[in-house]
Each structure stands twice: as C-alpha cells, then as structure tokens.
Amino acid sequence: MHLVRDRAHEFGVRGVDPSALWLDLAVAVARKNQIVQGIIDDIYGWVNKSDRITFIRGQAELTSPVDIRVDGHSITADKTIIATGSRTADARIPGLAQVGFITNYEALQLETVPASLIIVGAGYVGVEFAQMYARYGAQVTLVSRSQRIMKQEEPELSQMLAEILAVEGIDVRLGATAVRAEKAGNEKVIVAAIDGQEHRFQAEEILFAAGRVPRVDGLALEQAGVEMGPQGIQVAETLRTTAANIWSLGDVNGGAMFTHRATYDGPIAALNAVQNAGRTVDYRVMPRAVFTQPTLASVGLTEAEAVAAEHEVKTGVAYFRHSGRAKAIGETEGMLKLVADVKTGELLGGHILGPHADMLIHQVITAMYNRGTAEALARSIHIHPTLSEMVKETAKQLR
C-alpha cells in the first residue's frame, strides 16, 4: 500500500488515486493469522503424530530437580529442558494499567487502525510497529528514554533510521522518560520528562513496547535448584543450569531474544541432555534484524564495542545511494559498515541499513563464522546489478 500510494507515480504507474486507497486491516490480520496457524499446525502436527512424544498442555511447576507438577498431575524426569520463552516486561508507568494499553500481541490483532498511537519504547518492537502503523494511517508518537532508537546498534545507522521515521511523519521523542499515564476524555495521555520538563502526549491508544523478560512465572525454579542470573536463567556454555540435570534455552535465558537464537540453542541443549555431548554455544556471530523499511541488520561488534574489547580496529563504509540496483528499485537510503581487527584482519562486525539488509547480512555472517577476514568478500565476483555488490564494496573500503 505504501509503494502504490506514495511512490507508484515515479515508476510510471498512472490511474492510481492515492486518496481512494484504504487498508482493510481485518483482511490483513486474517491472512496473517492463517499463515501463523499453518506454521503452528505443522509444528504441533508433527509433535502429536510422534509415538515417542507425550504432549501435555498446562502450567508447570518444578517441585524438585526431578519432579514436575502440571495442573495437579506429577511427572518425574531424569532430564529436563526449560524453553518457556519471554513475555512483555511489566509496565511500571504509574497509571498505565488503569488507563489501559496494548502490547505487540494485541497490536497484531487489531482490525481497525487507531487514529493516533503512542508507542513507549524504541527497541525492535517499538520501531517496527511505529513505522507499520504510521503507514497504515495512524498518527504515531514514539517515546523513549534512550537518546537514540535501537541504542545497541551503530550510532550512524540508528540515527539514519530515526531520520527516516521522522520523514515518514512519526514524532520521535528521545530522552523522554514516561512518568505517568492519564485519561483525557476518550483518549489516553503519556506524560514524559524531557530535559527536566514535563510533556504531554495524547492519543487514542498506547502501545507498551519497553522490552521483554524471561517467562518464569509460576515455574518455582528455586524448588529445583535452578538459579536466575541478571538477565535470565543462569546457564553454562553447555546450556546446563545450576541444577545438574536441567538445561535451559532461548529467550528464558535472557540475552539475544530471537527465534533463530532458540533454534540454535535447541539441538545443543538436546544433545547435551540426552547424549552428554558436551556441546557449547558461541554467540559471537549471532545476527539481529529490525524489520523496518529499510531494514536494519547487524552481526558481531559495533566499532565502539570492538574498541572497548581492546581491538585496534579499521572500518569500511559504503552507501546504497551509489548502488545501481538500489537506484533501480528506488530504495537508496541507508549504508553499510564493516568492522575488522587491524592486526589480523578478522571481521569483528557487520552493520547494514538498507533494502533487504536482513538477507545481505548473511554474507558477513558466513565470513565471520570461522573468524575469517573481508578478503573473500572484497575479491569474490558478485553478480551485477545486485544489492550484494554493496557488501563487496564495503569490504574493499576497509582501511
């Protein structure tokens, strides 16, 4: 809809009346739900068909290192793996619970677009939903106590993405700490402190997107000797917890809360639990992506993190505005940055803001996996005209 409404004319498309376009969000949500349900059915269909798996639904409580109670029924297990994921962090803004708010889950179930929306939090969820609902037609205000969106990313890229969001009409308010929520007639208000002054932001709905926490509620981990660390369940590199016969994987351990991290952890935890394989995790090359347009994707260390780790670094930078393919598809915003060690040449990190960055980053991931350098990226032949050429160009710029 965004492409047709706002940009079709530049590609020579005529006869489109942008004012006549509207989004049937109920249809879009129904399509999304159908896709999600198909994925769920595939997974649980296999689980239910296996004669080696007993699948039980319910609230689990660990009553000892080897005993689990599920809704009053007891199970004894020599080995246990915890994979309960994460949930939205508790909203600790005074008055917010009384005023009412939605999370990312409810935001994906709405069948009508709110006229206006305040989003609290400028991480993955906040940034993605801000652009999505702004393009749906809502007036979006993004409020974050951080001084920049996606604060863990390269400053140049996060700043560039913030500017892109602002150009699209999103009111990006950084360094804004939400201090309370109030009602104002039929609308909701977030009062935020910015530079010592209170500012009021009013909208039809509030989306709370200020992070996620491990889902351990009701598990009674202490009864099994499983200890929590500062981010989540405390695990060794083998994913074994502080209980000798219990392993844990994915979001519930804290850290990088991504599905691909959990699918990486899964086989390691399973092999160690069942076969005592002694496998260990290595998150050095754990990629991440923000599914905005343009996409922001990264792997490894930022330049500042590499310097803090006492590397002498060199960097390479390239811009999509110089890409023939980016010009052809009309998506020239964004840049690429590679970080490498001066002495060894080892690639330490890769950061891309641009069209299909979530796919382009895999060149860097592959190069980094065995502690490789950028030489293969710089010397290998890349098909022209493709966006992939920009990864090669960035590698050539490392100095």
Catalytic amino acids? 384
CA distance 165 to 184: 27
Taking Cα atoms as reference points, which of 210, 26, 30 lies closest to residue 136? 26
Q: Which residues are within 8 A (CB) of 368 and not within 5 positions of it... i.e. 6 or more apart?
A: 284, 285, 299, 300, 347, 348, 350
Q: Give kind and range of the element (H or E) at residue 71.
A: none
User: How many Å apart are CA 320 and CA 390, to the nearest integer?
Assistant: 7
| 79 within 8 A of 245, measured Cβ to Cβ | yes
Start-to-end C-alpha separation, the chain: 42
At 349, which helix (H) or strand (E)?
A: strand 347-354
In this structure, the chain runs to a length of 399
Residues 6+ apart with CB under 8 A from 152: 302
3-state SS class at 272: helix
CA angle at 172 for the pair 170 and 174, rounded to the nearest 5°: 170
